[in-house]
Amino acid sequence: MKKAFGIDVGGTGIKGAIVDVEHGELLTERRKFLTPKPATPDAVIKEAKNLLKSFDWKKGVVGIGFPAVVINGICKSAVNIDKKWINFPVKEAFEQACGNPVSVINDADAAGIAEMKFGAGMGVKGSVLMLTLGTGIGSSLFIDGKLIPNIEFGQLVYKKSVAEHYGSNKHREQLKLSWKDWGASLNGVIKYYEKVCHPELIILGGGVSKKFDSFSAFLKLDAPVIPAKLLNGAGTIGAAYFAVAKSKK
């Protein structure tokens, strides 16, 4: 059995677990540490290090799903985290702090990789759009199973702001929207995405995917829409899987 540690850094929580990367399964319960406010590099790295210590994970590979565009180990954006992350060497900093081999990938890309390898997108050909609905909207796009990295559909200009301000779970919670009203708002956002990339399948993830049956009736889209099979654990599993795959290259 091949194991790795997966960390999913989000706007509200930093979650982690030991993962069986051959079968895409969590070998432990995920633990969650609150994302610091402000979510500066020093503060977030400290919490990630504490998370690893809580599992006594010392020498193994670590994969981190991070809420930003990540190119060659450098953070290139910061929407739901502190702006100090922009152009920050995120991979190098985590490796130095934790003492482990670390790979860092966009958090939605990590979730998408897990769903395509082990979950709802397994074996699906054509174009697949994965959306993670949480503090914002994360997105990952696959063509015949191959990832197009760092697709930030949540930041597309939409109405008077950006798309994630109308379709995220945070938007639903802040405005105390009914499932019907939020579903209608989310439907408008995804219709916009359909005009941009015309996916053949849409997978919805994030914590709210557990409530898919509460809002699915209000989604009227061209492509079929299904919930993530791995639910909110997809990011942790995908980050670990990605790290092991990178370590082999």
Whole-angstrom CA distances from 248 to 75, 103, 157 are: 23, 12, 39
Give the per-residue pLDDT at 249. 67
Domains detected in the chain:
3-109+233-247 (3.30.420.40), 123-228 (3.30.420.40)
Contact 91, 104 (CB under 8 A): yes
- Mean pLDDT, residues 76-84: 91
pLDDT digits (tens, 9 = 90+) for 126-168: 999 999 999 899 999 999 999 999 999 999 999 999 999 999 9
pLDDT digits (tens, 9 = 90+) for 196-207: 999 999 999 998
The torsion region of residue 93 among left (phi > 0), alpha (psi -120 to 50) and beta comes to alpha
Letter string b/e over residues 60-83, b meaning 16 or more CB atoms within 10 A of that residue's CB: bbbbbbbbbbbeebbbbbbbbbbe
Does residue 40 have a pLDDT over 70?
yes
Handedness of CA 200, 205, 210, 215 (dihedral sign): negative
Q: What is the 3-state secondary structure (H, E, C) of 118-152?
A: HCCCCCCCCEEEEEEECCCEEEEEEECCEEECCCC
Tokens standing for residue 122: 């397994």
Q: What is the mean pLDDT of the chain?
A: 95
pTM of the model: 0.94
Q: Where does the chain show beta strands of DSSP type E? A: 3-9, 13-20, 25-26, 31-34, 62-66, 70-71, 74-75, 102-106, 127-133, 137-143, 146-148, 157-158, 161-162, 201-205, 225-227
pLDDT digits (tens, 9 = 90+) for 3-30: 999 999 988 899 999 999 999 999 999 9
Q: How confident is the model at residue 123 (pLDDT cuts 50, 70, 90)?
A: very high
CB atoms within 10 A of CB 129: 26
Give the per-residue pLDDT at 247. 81
Give the per-residue pLDDT at 80. 84
Give the per-residue pLDDT at 36. 94
- Mean pLDDT, residues 213-240: 96
Q: How far apart are CA 111 and CA 125, in angstroms?
A: 18
Query: Mapping DSSP to helix (H, G, I), strand (E, B) and coil, where does residue 191 land?
Result: helix
- Mean pLDDT, residues 204-217: 95
Q: Considering only CA atoms, which of 132, 126, 87 is closest in space to residue 110?
A: 132
- 3-state percent breakdown (helix, strand, coil) of the chain, nearest 5: 40, 25, 35
- Mean pLDDT, residues 40-67: 95
Q: Which residue has the tokens 């930030």?
A: 152
